[in-house]
A and B are shown apart, each in its own frame.
Chain A
Amino acid sequence: MNYYLRRTVRIPLTILAVATFTFGLIRLLPGGPFTQLRIQLIRQGVPAEQVNARIEALQNIRPDAPLWQQYLDYLIGVAQLDLGRSISLNAPVIEILARALPWTVFLVVTSTVLMFVIGVLIGAIQAYKEGSRFDKVASGSSIFLMAVPYYIFAVLFLFFLSFQLNLFPTGNAVERGIEASLSAEYFLSVLHHAALPIIAFTIGGVGSTALNMRGNGIQVLGEEYVEVARLRGLPDSRIATKYVAKNAILPMYTGLLLLIGFRLGGTVVLEQIFSYPGLGYYLISAVNANDYPLMMGCFLVITVTLVIAVYIADLTYGLIDPRISAGDSDGY
């Protein structure tokens, strides 16, 4: 129980730290968003005495108040889900992000799960058939896959499948004009749009997952408890799942926590390529439009999403590894 409690208590603390960090980036970074925003406003011809008021309207920070006051204001704003107002889209940041977040989560979760499942399956087969032709070919391909960044797949897919063959759309999350509903049409459209990004993102991670699983699998297959289980006459399927797979996947779990972070960050490039309206897409649009409130809002939301994703992964880790909840071992 202890373990879960500790992890849960850590959540608000981490979010507080992240919010503070974001505030620091906005307010204190020389040449950072705050300065840029001010310059931009002045350039737009906003009279000097109104600049602060405008900033306050856009970013719920009062530039003339003392720093701690600004900090408190900012935190209170964040707690009330008030992230300011987007300049370019002229809407509250939180509204834009609330629409974008599900798409990003959908992309990351689906592709990560797919990557994990496929990688683990390939790696496990390799481990069972260590030294076979399949093993060699798969290892070679995995190493090669590791050398290709996911966005290269994205570009190639886009080039061939979307632009040359017109099989897939080149942007957006759903067909224009299809309302969000539980209809099959809507779902198909969503899948159609998400297919390429998800496949590209999945392939990009399969190689290293498979290699990892292969290594762990070979190690577990050499363990005495697997031998004992065979002698006890357990069916191969049970040994493969309960013994080999479970114990080989466990050490990969901690890596998975890190991986989620990298993949969430990676959506920035992915969504941009596919013009997929998720958090990353808005982040880049904000950067290109010098829309600082939106930019910082995106950053904060992506980070908080990561914190929560890692928390969930952490909890499931406690469920599948009995050793973790007992002791304090954090397996990084």
Chain B
Amino acid sequence: MATNTDTNTSPTDDTASKRVVDDPILEIEDTNVTYSEGDTYVLEDVNVTIDRHEVLGIVGESGSGKSMFASALLDAVPDPGLLTGKIHYNRKDGSTVDILQMSDEELRQFRWEEISMVFQGAMSSFNPTMKVGSHFKETLRTHDKNVSEGMEFARELLENLYLEPERVLDSYPHELSGGMQQRALIALSMVLDPEVLVMDEPTAALDLLMQRSILQLLDNLQSEYDLTIIFITHDLPLVASLADRMAIIYAFQFAEIGPRDEIIGNSAHPYTRELLNSTPNLDAPLEDMQPIEGEGPAPVNVPSGCRYHPRCQLATEKCRTDDPPFSPVDGGGGHRSACHYREEAREEIPLNFGKTAEDFDQQLVSDPTDGPNAGSTATLETTSDTPLLSLDDVEVHFGEEQSLIERFTQDPTVVRAVDGISLDIEEQDLVCLLGESGCGKTTLGKTMIGLQKPTGGSIEYRGHDIWEAKAGNTDIPYKEVRSALQIIHQDPGSALNPNRRIADILTEPLRHTHPNIGRAERRDRMHSLLERVGMTPAGDFLERYPHQLSGGEKQRVALARALLMDPDAILADEAISAVDVSLRIGIMDLMLELQAEFDTSFLFISHDLSNARYFAEHGDGRIAVMYLGEIVEIGSAERLIHDPRHPYTEVLRWATPNLDLDAMDAEDPPIREIDVPDPVDPPSGCRFHTRCPVAREACREEQPKLAELDDGDGAAACFREDPNHAYWNSEPLDGAAENPEGLEQH
């Protein structure tokens, strides 16, 4: 907001970055949360002041104590944790209370009326056996509010969150989609019109587009209802677009706090700077994105001195022994940092996104033949005699199960998960499937590697139909096809059988590739590969069970397991979204290196354009954008990001958080509806027309074909590509813009 050109600025605008907090709503002093009778700290020495009507973004890795901070603000630390210190709350009328001194009854009223909270899992925050509306009513009733007035307000809130109030209130939680539940939960937390909203990862389980849309709505709600928002997340760029001030938590302590622009552009802590550099985004040059080595400590063994020193590249002897004070940084209104070497950090760890996108564009434009893109087209052509995998008009339709009676009484409901996709994957190719959840990207991915049988069309592996091979009708053994196509799953938690040791898990692929080898040789192979994927000491890891590994390590084992099959293609299904941000780049780099080493192709599924970009651009690959079962645009990462042709790609690009301060403050979403239509009954004509910002009458009737672009690589399916199409003469649909900026005709 601070540098926005918008005229209707909220009260905190423009001043936020220059001013020390002067009208605090919450003053937190010397607050600790301890377990095991004071031995382990899960939140240590917090001294923070929160301004009225500000949005404070708090960023930390998982297990850094950030959720504990959220609970502390409501004095709701889970048992047997012990919360000590002072948390002063200044009411609107000027009186002050210490939250930690309140009686149970005072606390009961205080929570939700003054400070309210939104949790991460909306599904688990609602009672599954109670209608959503009852949650609102019982809350109003408990706090002695007028129920009918309160429900009026609730409806208003829901409407502001782009929900149909009546329908939502009358539903059970499981009948709503994840994004709807999350928004309903936000409404529930605001139903008593609180002053402060504490949000603990409120969007983490959602798609990027939904996350951004919700953030946008929050921004509106914040100014409309004069809220103070404390937004806690692991996703730095996401909150950056919303926050006035930001704080970074590392290992149960605040590492840095300050105005957003200071933190993003001029951070004075190595962790923040490296975190910024390790965040995949759309602007920074790829080679400057660096992972942070190592992982955050557990509460039982916090390092001495500066807790970041084992991972810090600037660490010295002093850092190992002396705890750096959390003290103000020169010149930055309220900017504080816990580091001995702030100046050095600023000098020696340059931020990668400072180099703006323009250099980048230039590079692309001036050197069209030498870009990675050119490389990829070259490989495409040289090997294009038989592609590794070839999809021809593939359809996957799921019929919902019907009982005998239903078969007579109802039409079958069919979900068209994948609807008519043709795509070739070359040897050592790299393709990213990008789209919202429910767009069919995972189904398509599984179809590509022969795990899901298509209901229409064909899929060939090096010219042999996979399903024919399975039936034994081709000269190529199915075993060969099967081992050639491997998978890495999204959730590291369930990717490994909890009852088997890593050695046993990795033995499984070796049984297929090297059936006759002895125990010693087997171990050697696993040993060397584990080292290759960065797990040392490998011998130690081999003896462990999956529960003894961290999420990132599990993902590495899953990768090793797939590689031991010596595959030609690996499907990585959102393989990094469950891994901590600071580790993502590391795993992506590893996959890319191994791709070269093993000569495999990668199919990478993601909902996050910046991850897809990192992957596709590094590996000279393509990004295919999917919407409701169809590919709507495909092309190289550069082209897609800098010259998106399909309005949906544009929307996804908008949804991708950006660290560029000038472009950071969110505009309104270039989209007319937040929720994806029901795939059982997809819209007629262009499936995107219900949400497309530039849809016209013509889009409702006719379906655009995926057509090669004349002036760029790849293809797109939108009428706007055809200058002579009837589209240009038809009327814009309800709510669609005539011809908005940024979507001008190409």
Contacts and interface: CB of A to CB of B under 8 A. Distances in A.
Query: Is there any pair of Cβ atoms, one from A and one from B, under 8 angstroms apart in the complex?
Result: yes
Given A225-B127, A232-B142, A328 B109 contact: no
B111 A228 contact: no
A246 B129 contact: yes
B129 A227 contact: no
Interface of A: 2, 5-6, 9, 223-225, 227-235, 238, 242-243, 246-247, 250, 320-323, 326, 328
Given A6-B403, A9-B405, A320-B129, A228 B174 contact: no
B109 A224 contact: no
Interface of B: 74, 76, 78, 108-109, 111-112, 116-117, 119, 121, 124-131, 138-139, 142-143, 172, 174-175, 401, 403, 405-406
A326 B175 contact: yes
A224 B108 CA distance: 17
Q: Which 8 A-B pairs have the closest CB atoms?
A: A224-B124, A233-B108, A322-B172, A228-B125, A232-B139, A225-B127, A233-B142, A231-B111
Nearest to B74: A231
Contacts of B129: 246-247, 250, 320-323
B127 A232 contact: no
5 contacts: A2-B406, A5-B405, A238-B138, A246-B129, A250-B129
Contacts of B76: 227, 230-231
Contacts of B111: 231-233
A231 B126 contact: no
Given A232-B112, A250-B129, A322-B128, 17 more contacts: A2-B406, A225-B128, A227-B78, A228-B125, A229-B127, A230-B76, A231-B74, A231-B112, A231-B117, A232-B111, A233-B142, A246-B127, A246-B129, A247-B129, A323-B128, A326-B175, A328-B403
Contacts of B117: 228, 231
A247 B405 contact: no
Nearest to B120: A224
Contacts of B112: 231-233
Contacts of A225: 124-128
B405 A234 contact: no
A240 B553 CA distance: 40
A238 B121 CA distance: 22
Contacts of A235: 142
A321 B124 CA distance: 16
A238 B119 CA distance: 21
Contacts of B125: 224-225, 228
Contacts of B143: 233
Contact of B139 (A224, A234, A320): A234
A224 B131 CA distance: 17
Contacts of A231: 74, 76, 111-112, 116-117
A123 B399 CA distance: 42
B139 A247 contact: no
Given A231-B112, A247-B129, A223 B406 contact: no
Contacts of B116: 231
A122 to B, nearest CB: 22
Nearest to A320: B129
Given A9-B405, A235-B142, A242 B108 contact: no
A273 to B, nearest CB: 40
A114 to B, nearest CB: 24
A233 B139 CA distance: 7
B136 to A, nearest CB: 10
Most chain B beta-carbon neighbours within 10 Å: one of A223, A224, A225, A238 = A225
A112 B406 CA distance: 35
Contact of B124 (A5, A223, A230, A243): A223
Contact of B119 (A6, A9, A224, A321): A224
A328 B109 CA distance: 41
Nearest to A249: B129
Most buried by B among A6, A229, A247: A229
Nearest to A3: B403
A320 B172 CA distance: 12
Nearest to A6: B403
A323 B138 CA distance: 21
Nearest to A226: B127
B498 to A, nearest CB: 19
Contacts of A238: 138, 142
A120 to B, nearest CB: 16
A216 to B, nearest CB: 13
Nearest to B140: A232
B172 A323 contact: yes
Contacts of A233: 108-109, 111-112, 139, 142-143
B110 to A, nearest CB: 9
A232 B145 CA distance: 13
Given A233-B142, A233-B143, A228 B108 contact: no
A124 to B, nearest CB: 16
B207 to A, nearest CB: 21
A234 B131 CA distance: 16
B50 to A, nearest CB: 19
A322 B116 CA distance: 28
Contacts of B74: 231
Given A231-B111, A328-B403, A242 B127 contact: yes
A228 B76 CA distance: 10
A4 to B, nearest CB: 12
A317 to B, nearest CB: 12
Nearest to A238: B138
A6 B142 contact: no
Nearest to A328: B401
A228 B406 CA distance: 39
A323 B174 contact: yes
B256 to A, nearest CB: 29
A234 B138 contact: yes
Nearest to B118: A228
A156 B148 CA distance: 60
A21 to B, nearest CB: 22
A284 B172 CA distance: 50
Contact of A6 (B108, B130, B405): B405
A130 B121 CA distance: 26
A328 B404 CA distance: 13
Contacts of A250: 129
A226 to B, nearest CB: 8
Contacts of B130: 242
Contacts of A9: 405
Contacts of A2: 406
A104 to B, nearest CB: 33
A13 to B, nearest CB: 10
Contacts of A6: 403, 405
A320 B405 CA distance: 24
Contacts of B172: 322-323, 326
Nearest to B402: A328
A275 B116 CA distance: 63
A16 to B, nearest CB: 15
A227 B111 CA distance: 12
A247 B127 contact: yes
Contacts of A228: 117, 119, 125
Contacts of B127: 225, 229, 242-243, 246-247
B369 to A, nearest CB: 55
B244 to A, nearest CB: 25
A272 to B, nearest CB: 41
A5 B406 CA distance: 10
B145 to A, nearest CB: 11
